[in-house]
Structure 1
Amino acid sequence: MRRRLIQSTLAVVLVVIAVFGVSLVIVETRTISNSARERVDSEALRLASIVDSRLLGAQKVSPAILEGQITADKYAVITIPGQAPIEIGAKPVGDVIHSTAQGEEGETVRVEEPRSAVTREVGRTLMIIALVALLAIIAAILLAVRQANRLASPLTDLAETAERLGSGDPRPRHKRYGVPELDRVADVLDASAERIARMLTAERRLAADASHQLRTPLTALSMRLEEIALTDDLETVKEEATIALAQVERLTDVVERLLTNARDPRTRSAVSFDLDEVIQQQLAEWRPAYRSAGRAIVSSGKRHLRAVGTPGAVAQVLAALIENSLMHGGGTVALRTRVTGNQAVVEVTDEGPGVPPQLGSRIFERTISGRNSTGIGLAVARDLAEADGGRLEMLQAKPAVFGLFLSRTPLQVPPTREGPEQTVR
């Protein structure tokens, strides 16, 4: 492309120079020739008037007198009746430009100038025109190279940007080139890069959230299946199978919720449900794990509360808090329900050392963890709570108290993250 731009620009300049240059040469040649003829005519008339004035004054006309009246490159012959012709200057050789003037006293003055002088003047003019044309060509080449670079380099950059997008590097370059059309293409590519980056982030986040959120239900389901495999009691098998089916349904709900949040986090499918059922369900699922760890999990507080949200999502939030207490806390874990204003609150606390001060303000950030864990459990839990119009807050650091706030009536606008007054046990 760069070569074609240079060639096309140079071709246009050459055509312009050829058209105007030839016309200028023709005009200048004619002008110089006419100017030379006019000089010769003027010289002949001037000499004739000088000779007339001397003849009228009865003065002698001689070569010595007329020698200084003619320029060095001209030759003149004055013919006076009754006298020998008077020659002034050197007679030119070859083609000449001549002019003849007739005096009032009958004398004839012929002035000649060699055409080579005109040729030399025309040659000098042609050299000047050729030099100007050469400078114009050089300037055109430099301008063409500059313009070609200005247009070709941005296209190369844009091609590299598109190639980077295709290879999975969605970083926008935010580079502009001062050419509106190219800048428009750059804007579109940067916008595409940002969209691709958001899509990739959402996909990675979905994968991380899914792996984290599905781990616990799958572990619980595996434990139930092991119980079924080890027992011969039909009633126990039926009971464990029923619980396993319920866990499969919740697992399906988790997957659907994660997919919904990945497509549009603002999508809500909240309903009114019995909060006690979700809490008792979580207690039943987590008691075996707590018994294995030599710890207990209990519930207290106001009963028969109804809240607005997605039961599966609320169960996952509580599961994240219970698992967090199992991994990082100590002693008995307590789930306490209460009412504040138009909200139902579920507090999850334990008797452990609490949240380290350096993590207090960042506990809900992704990849932030006090120990060797993924650091996304609480972040996912907060996202799930907010997707249902609720919120998840850390109410107390030592011992750790986390509060899940859910509306008791359907809300049109999700509440802000401004937490209520902290609860002190």
Structure 2
Amino acid sequence: MRRRLINSTLAVVLVVIAVFGVSLVIVETRTITSSAQDRIGSEALRLLGVVEADALEHRKVDAGSLSEQLDVGTYARITVPGQPVVEVGDRIEDNVIRGTARGEQGEVVVVEESRSTVTREVGRTLAVVGAVALLAVVAAVLLAVRQANRLASPLTDLAETAERLGSGDPRPRHKRYGVPELDRVADVLDASAERIARMLTAERRLAADASHQLRTPLTALSMRLEEITVTDDLETVREEATIALTQVERLTDVVERLLTNSRDPRTGSAVPFDLDEVVKQQVEEWRPAYRSAGRAVVRSGKTGMRAVGTPGAVSQVLATLVENALMHGGGTVALRTRVTGNQAVIEVTDEGPGVPPDLGNRIFERAISGRNSTGIGLAVARDLAEADGGRLELLQSQPPVFALFLSRTAPERAEPERTVR
């Protein structure tokens, strides 16, 4: 492209120089020739005036005095009636410029000059025009190179940017070139890079969230299947199979919710639901795992409450808290329900060391973990809670107390508080 731009610019300049340069040379040649002819004619008239003055005083033409009035290289021939022809200067044989003047008494003055004088003047003019043309060509080449670089370099950068986008590097360059059309292309590429970056971030986040959220139901499902494999009691098999089917439904709900949140994280499907059923389900699901670890999971607090939210999402939040307590906590894990204002609160606490003081509420940030874990679970749990209009908070660090706040519907018949093991 650079070569084409340089060649095209140089071709245009050469055409302009050829057209205007030839025309200028022709005009200047004619002007110089006409000027020389006028000068020789004026010289002849001047000499004629001298000759006529001598004739009035009845003096003969003096060749010596006339020679002093002629330029070097100029020849004059004076013819006066009754006097011999007077010649001044050296005769020029050919290729001359001639000027003739005639007086009233028959005097004739002829002045001649070699045309080489005109030729030299035309040559100097051609040299000047040629030098200007050469400077114009050099300037055109420099300008063409500059313009070619100004246009070709941005195009090369834009091509590299597009190649980077295609290779999976969506970082915008925010580089502009001072050319409106190229800057518009750069704006579009940067906007595309930002959109691709957001899409890749969303895809990676979806993959991370999916791997984490699906792990808990899969773990519970695998425990139920293990229970089935080690028992010969048909009734137990049926019970465990029913629970396993419930886990499959939860898996389906988690997948659908992940896909919905990936399209619009603000989309929720909050409905009134029985909070006791969700808490009971979590206790029953995690009791075998805690029993295997020599620990216990219990529920206590107010019963008969209904809250507004997505049952599957609430289950996932509680499962995340219970699983974290199993992995990082110690002692008995308690799920306690209570009411504060118009909100239903589910607290999950254990007897372990708790959250390190340097973390605090940063524990809900992605990639933040007090121990060897992904640092995703609590962040996803908070997102799930907020999607339904609730919130997940760390009320106490040591011992740890996590609380899920949900909007509460009109209370039904309440039962006294009780503890279930």
Provide the residue aligned with 1:419 in structure 2: none
The whole-number CA distance in structure 1 between the counterparts of 2:104 and 2:18 is: 51
Match of 1:157 in 2: 157
Deviation of 1:360 after TM superposition, in Å, equals: 1.4
Deviations 1:153-207 (A, max 9, x none): 1111111111111111111111111111111111111111111111111111111
Q: Deviations over 1:208-232 (max 9, x none)?
A: 1111111121111111111111111
Identity %: 79
Q: Which consecutive segments of 4 or more residues in structure 1 shift more than 4 A?
A: none
Q: Higher relative contact order by CA 8 Å / sep ≥ 6: 1 or 2?
A: 2
Q: Deviations over 1:260-280 (max 9, x none)?
A: 111111111111111111111
Structure 2 distance, partners of 1:106, 1:18, is 51
Distance 1:370 1:332 in 2: 20
Distance 1:90 1:408 in 2: 129
CA distance in 1: counterparts of 2:395 and 2:59, whole angstroms: 134
Q: One-letter code of the match for 2:233?
A: D
Worse-matched range after superposition: 170-179 or 327-336: 327-336
Q: Tell me the residue number matched to 2:205.
A: 205
- Name the amino acid aligned to 1:380: V
**2:238 paired residue number:** 238
Residue matched to 1:329: 329
Once the two structures are TM-superposed, the CA of residue 58 in structure 1 deviates from its matched residue by 3.5
Which amino acid in 1 is paired with 2:168? G
Measure the CA separation in 2 of the matches of 1:336 and 1:73. 127
- The answer to whether residue 304 in structure 2 is matched with residue 304 in structure 1 is yes
Q: Is the alpha carbon distance of 1:305 and 1:93 closer, same or farther for their aligned partners in structure 2, counting shifts above 3 Å? A: farther
How far 1:60 sits from its partner (Å)? 4.4
Which residue is 1:421 aligned to? none
Paired residue for 1:394?
394
Deviation at 1:103, TM superposition (A): 2.2
Q: Which residue of 2 aligns with 1:22?
A: 22
Q: Distance in 2 between matches of 1:5 and 1:190?
A: 27
Instruction: Give the C-alpha shift of residue 94 in structure 1.
Output: 2.8
Residue 76 (structure 2) pairs with residue 76 (structure 1): yes
Q: Distance in 2 between matches of 1:392 and 1:92?
A: 117
Is the Cα–Cα contact under 8 Å of residues 76 and 109 in structure 2 kept in the other structure?
yes
Please give the secondary structure, in 2, of the residue aligned with 1:183: helix
CA contact under 8 A between 2:60 and 2:83: conserved in structure 1? Answer: no
Gap runs ≥5 in structure 1: 411-425
Q: Secondary structure at the match of 1:110?
A: strand
More displaced, 79-88 or 37-46? Answer: 79-88
Cα deviation for residue 342 of structure 1 reads: 2.3
Query: Which residue of 2 is the match for residue 262 of structure 1?
Result: 262
Distance 1:397 1:158 in 2: 52
Call closer, same or farther: CA 1:170–1:409 in 2, change over 3 Å.
farther
Per the TM alignment, residue 404 of structure 1 is displaced from its structure 2 partner at its CA by: 1.1
Match of residue 196 from structure 2 = 196
Q: Which deviates more from structure 2 when the two are superposed, residues 87-96 or residues 281-290?
A: 87-96
Aligned to 1:126: 126
After superposition, the C-alpha distances for 1:351-401 in whole angstroms (9 at most, x for unaligned) are 222211221142111111111111111011111111112111112222221
SS in 1 for 2:232: coil
Amino acid at match of 2:308: V
Tell me how far 1:320 sits from its aligned partner: 0.8
Contact 2:361 2:394 survives alignment (8 Å):
no
Calculate the TM-score normalised by the size of structure 1. Answer: 0.93
- Residues 1:292 and 2:292 are matched in the alignment: yes
Q: TM-score, normalised by structure 2?
A: 0.94
Query: Structure 1 214/42 Cα, relative in aligned 2: closer, same or farther at 3 Å?
Result: same
The alignment of Structure 1 onto Structure 2 pairs a total of residues equal to 410
Kindly provide the amino acid, as one letter, of the partner of residue 143 in structure 1: L
* In 1, Cα distance between equivalents of 2:72 and 2:368: 103
The CA RMSD measured in Å over matched residues stands at: 1.5
Q: Is the 8 A contact 2:17 2:133 kept in 1?
A: yes
* Secondary structure at the counterpart of residue 337 of structure 2: strand
Q: Deviations over 1:270-327 (max 9, x none)?
A: 1111111111111111111112222222222221211111111111111111111122
Counterparts of residues 82-93 of structure 1 (less than 5 Å): 82-93=82-93
* Structure-2 separation of matches of 1:372 and 1:388: 30
